[in-house]
Amino acid sequence: MISIDDAESKADHDARPALRTFAVVGLGLVLAVALLNLIVNPLGAYPWTVLRPLTWSARQTKVTLMSQVPPPDVLVLGSSRSMIVPKAEVDGALGPRTMFNASVDSAKAEDMYLVCEEGLAHGFHPSVVVMGVDLEAFYDPAETDIRTLANPALRSHLSADRQLAAYGTIGGTILSYTQIADSIRSVKTARAGYPKDKFRFDDTDGTFVWVERPAPVVPAEQNAGLNARFLAYRGLSTWRLAMFARTLSELRAHGARIYVYIPPMHPVLVEALRENPRYIDVHGKVVALLEAEKAKGGVVAFRDFTEISSFDGLADDFSDPLHINEENAARMTRTLLESR
């Protein structure tokens, strides 16, 4: 007859190989994933490069250019939808000026603030600021783009606690499944050969320039993704609203006249989004916010260019449903700078 203690120790003895296997396989897999992502570094989040980063980000390019160009008279802030603000139109409306377009892709309110701070740190004292504010600039939940957090120059302008959290976020991505997929894609792309660059940024003013213009994208293809993004939009993030207010007050303190606009979308996309109650809600709130800024003199002008009729734009002059081409950009810039 065996006692309970004996039975327990036999159960423990029997369980040891399984437990050892669990620990070895579990830890081994987690370490393997971490190692793969660290070495491949598909987002360019860590300070070394074995393979070219998979995801494109204008952040590093713009930060580098800002350290090289002389301080401009006109500064453009915004997302990829504001990367084309033709200098000729700016000169036409305001007289000959130097300009720098500091727009970065997927820019949220904090991106504009951090880019602005980086510019100020390089001695920028713009007399005019043109800001393209996407509705998604205030997206809640407010998770800062990993490409912003991974950029040492931009990260340095965050508060100390957010910098600390940034290291945690970057660390957390080491094990994320999306990064595993990116690492695998990165390796595959490296083996297949990198495609030629389709665009570049002008070395003198940071403006987006097509090297090889792509075929236009059908609006409906972008529609589903954008609809889903707005459905997940919980409201305007308080922190992002604060970052935006801080950007404006910082620029005003430096004597800048600020022109703000909501960038245009293709009419087909606007039509589809009108069915989305979250979009209607967010659009109304952002417009009200910017109208209020204008009313209290925080900005010189505000224009909602969501609909192309607001600046006599053409539906054919889009590179894709969210991005206007040079012709529409010229019309839009002219209308904005003539606004009061």
Segment near another protein (CB under 8 A); pick from 28-36, 73-81, 210-218, 258-266:
28-36
Residues 227-246, interacting with another protein (CB under 8 A):
228, 231-232
> Smallest gap, in angstroms, from Cβ of residue 79 to another protein?
22
Binding test (CB under 8 A) with another protein, winner from 6, 26, 220, 280 = 26
Judged by beta carbon, residue 8 or residue 203, the one nearer another protein is: 8
Instruction: Please answer whether residues 136 and 229 qualify as being in contact, where contact means their C-beta atoms are separated by less than 8 angstroms.
Output: yes
Give residue for tokens 């039975």.
Answer: 7
Residue of 41, 103, 106, 173 interacting with another protein (CB under 8 A):
173
Query: Quick one: which of 104, 99, 101, 89 has its CA closest to 134?
Result: 104
The answer to whether residues 206 and 65 touch, using CB atoms and an 8 Å cutoff, is: yes
Q: Is 178 in the site for another protein (CB under 8 A)?
A: yes
- Binding-residue pattern over the window 255 to 284 for another protein, x denoting contact by CB under 8 A: --------------------xxxx------
Phi and psi angles of residue 262, each rounded to the nearest 5 degrees, phi first:
-95, 120
Q: Cβ closer to another protein: 88 or 231? A: 231
User: Judged by CB under 8 A, which of 70, 152, 168, 216 binds another protein?
Assistant: 168
Distance CA 192, CA 186 (A): 10
- Contact status: 13 vs another protein (CB under 8 A): yes
Identify the CA nearest to 116 among candidates 256, 296, 314, 275.
256
Residue 206 makes CB contacts below 8 A (sequence gap 6+) with 62, 65, 66, 69, 76, 100, 101, 102, 103
Q: How far apart are CA 215 and CA 218, in angstroms?
A: 9
Q: For binding to another protein (CB under 8 A), which residues are involved?
A: 8-9, 11-19, 21-26, 29-30, 33, 143, 168-169, 171-173, 175-180, 228, 231-232, 275-278
